[in-house]
Structure 1
Amino acid sequence: MDAPDPRVIPPLAALLAFERAATQLSFRRAARDLSLSPSAISHQIRGLEQQFGTRLFVRGARSVRLTADGERYLAKVSAALATLDEASRDMLRQRGETGGELWISSLPFFTSAVLLPALPEFKRRYPQLTLRIEATHQYADFNSSRVDVAVRYGREHAAGLKVEPLVQVRGLPVCTPALVKAGLRTPADLSREVLIHVTTQPRAWPAWLKEAGLPHLAPRGHLWLDSVPAMLEAAEHGLGVALAMAPLIRARPGFGKKLVAPFAFEPAQHETIYLVSRTEQARDRRITAVRRWIADAVARAS
């Protein structure tokens, strides 16, 4: 059998960009999955189209779709990448590099409120396993990263992934006791306060206010931060009212003292936090151990 011609095989980065964009039918979502910019994804795909002398995508104003050549190429590229992934995992398993190590991608707030307090228990149960935890809002790319398990807020459908509900969460306004003493008694009183937002959840406060019957409430101001831990810390400093995740917020150290829930109102609307793993690893003993540990940690935090 002749050796492959390296001049014909495109760079792996271009193949990954094409596979993600073709699977998601979105350059933006592909960029998010690969931690790149949409322009970088577009550049990689243009390079492939120039190399092959054919269009792989039909680009619309707000969407893209595969051409017939793109459809045929996706089938071959997906199979090749899956083969490379499995071959690499086999090599790692043979060398024992994954046997005692497991990578978790988790939301920053879930990491601090649920996982970190439960780590001593994990080490007692599974002293032979080493956890590597990445606290991030970015969705884990199971195709091109070493992530074994991800904890995510809201569900995104993806082929080849097992998605299991962990806990239902609702928005719960929290603030310092000083704001309550100053007169924050009902949701309508929020008109005198600063609302603290997380940039990744711009609709959280508007949705909560709508359920509270106050869709047009205008607060004194807004403060935007890039993570839930930063938002809660700002609330602890008396900078405004944050919208936390109940019931998990009750596991945060200082809840009830540094932060309190000023209202009795609870919205009916809820979101779900999910545990995500690869379907083919469903019986992996490491995954089973971590799944059981996270479920127990959620039960304690709730």
Structure 2
Amino acid sequence: MLRLADLELFVRSSVLGSFTAAALEAGLLPGQVAAAIKRLERDLDVRLFARTTRSLRLTAEGERYLPTAVTALETLRQGHEDLHGNPGTLRGTLQVSAPSDLGRNMLLPWLSAFRRAHPALHLRFLLSDQIADLNRDPVDVAIRYGRNQDANYIALPLADWNRRVLVASPAYLNRHGRPQTPDALQQHACLLYMQYGRVYDKWQLGNRTVQVRGPLVSDDADVIRRLAILGEGIVYKSWLDVSNDLASGELEIVLPDLAGEPTPVTLVCPHRKQLTPAVGQLHLWLRERFEALRRSCTNLPD
């Protein structure tokens, strides 16, 4: 018979990559966590982890079993919540991952208001420009740019009208002039950031894709936006990331007649079984606010 505590320690060990870290989190000794994993492996008749003195990683069998374990724990948690308290009250913890710039400057106040509307719900908000692995990272849902490429995930639309735009500060354009063609970007300081583990330096404008270069690169897209405001160069960003800066006049659109790359925003979760009431209500909450923003703005990209 599988023990619920053993299943929980398996999931946390896989996320944290360490029996010691999982033990510290649970208030146990590392040997107790190792014993729990051994019991689970014996019950399942498979080896879940490959262990060395320096590393801990899931075996192929462990990788296959992890989504099942996560789903089982979530189902039990949801069942407990349904038995206790008002069924319409959102409870428990919802872990949300989002890109750095969008998360800090747009989603943060919206999620704060969502939590206030549901005081029994706890939110964990994780910001990173790296794509969260929904099967391994401590994340329930991810808010992402771009179209969902993984058929195993469920993607719910939030802002399918969003595009990238080319922007720079008035100070930069006054000093260096305004490029008139995509090729002219090669004579300008282009501000670059990391996307999917590589420098995002191929910018799509109209039917052209131009490879650019520049003196400043960061793994945080919010840093690059701030550098553009300071007049350090031209940046190619999601309209949502720079909409407030365009409205304030701190940034201006460059080459406005050339449409940027479509960059829809979606809310992604591993599968339909994890479309909990909290996830469903968060999706509706955010979609309403993205739609209100679209209706209220006059500088939307074509």
Query: What is the CA distance between 1:236 and its match in structure 2?
Result: 1.0
Number of the residue aligned with 1:205: 201
CA gap 1:96/1:136 in 2 versus in 1, 3 angstroms: farther
**CA apart distance, 1:261:** 1.2
Residue 11 (structure 1) shift: 8.7
Q: Secondary structure at the match of 1:243?
A: strand
Once the two structures are superposed, what CA deviation does each residue of 1:238-261 show, in whole Å capped at 9, x if it has no partner? 121111102x14532564511111
Deviations 1:257-283 (A, max 9, x none): 111112224336423321123512446
Q: Identify the residue that residue 275 of structure 1 maps to in structure 2.
A: 267
Q: TM-score, normalised by structure 2?
A: 0.63
Provide the identity percentage.
17
Once residues 101 and 55 of structure 1 are traced to their aligned partners in structure 2, the CA distance between those partners, rounded to angstroms, is 31
Match of 2:166 in 1: 173
| SS of the residue 1:222 aligns to | coil
Structure 1 segment 220-231 matched on structure 2, within 5 A: 221-231=214-224
Aligned to 1:190: 185
Matches of 1:165 and 1:298 in 2, distance apart? 10
The answer (yes or no) to whether the contact 1:250–1:301 under 8 Å persists in 2 is no
Contact 1:114 1:301 in 2 (8 A): no
Residue 123 of structure 1 and its aligned partner are, at CA, apart by: 6.7
Aligned partner (choices 193, 210, 233) of residue 240 of structure 1: 233
Distance in 2, matches of 1:236 and 1:266, equals 22
Give aligned pairs, total.
Answer: 258
Secondary structure, aligned partner of 1:239: coil
| Paired residues for 1:250-265 under 5 Å | 250-253=242-245, 255-265=247-257
Q: Distance in 1 between matches of 2:77 and 2:136?
A: 12
TM superposition shift of 1:90: 3.1
Shift of residue 132, structure 1, vs aligned partner: 2.0
Does the Cα contact within 8 Å between 1:249 and 1:255 map onto a contact in 2? no
Amino acid corresponding to residue 264 of structure 1 in structure 2: P
CA distance in 2, matches of 1:11, 1:176: 53
Kept in 2: contact 1:199–1:226 (CA 8 A): yes
Post-superposition shift, 1:208?
Answer: 2.5
Could you state the TM-score of these two structures normalised by the residue count of structure 1?
0.63
User: What does residue range 22-61 of structure 1 map to in structure 2 within 5 Å?
Assistant: 34=15
3-state SS of 1:271 partner: coil
Q: Which residue is 2:155 aligned to?
A: 163
Aligned residue for 2:280? 288
Structure 1 133/177 Cα, relative in aligned 2: closer, same or farther at 3 Å? farther
Q: Residues 76-111 of structure 1, C-alpha deviation per residue, up to 9 Å, x if partnerless?
A: x76555434422443455566983455222222222
> Which stretches in structure 1 are left out of the alignment for 5+ residues?
19-33, 38-46, 58-65
Q: What amino acid is the match of 1:185?
A: P
CA distance in 2, matches of 1:16, 1:225: 31
- Which residue of structure 1 aligns with residue 30 of structure 2? none
The CA distance in 2 between the partners of 1:207 and 1:231, in whole Å, is 15
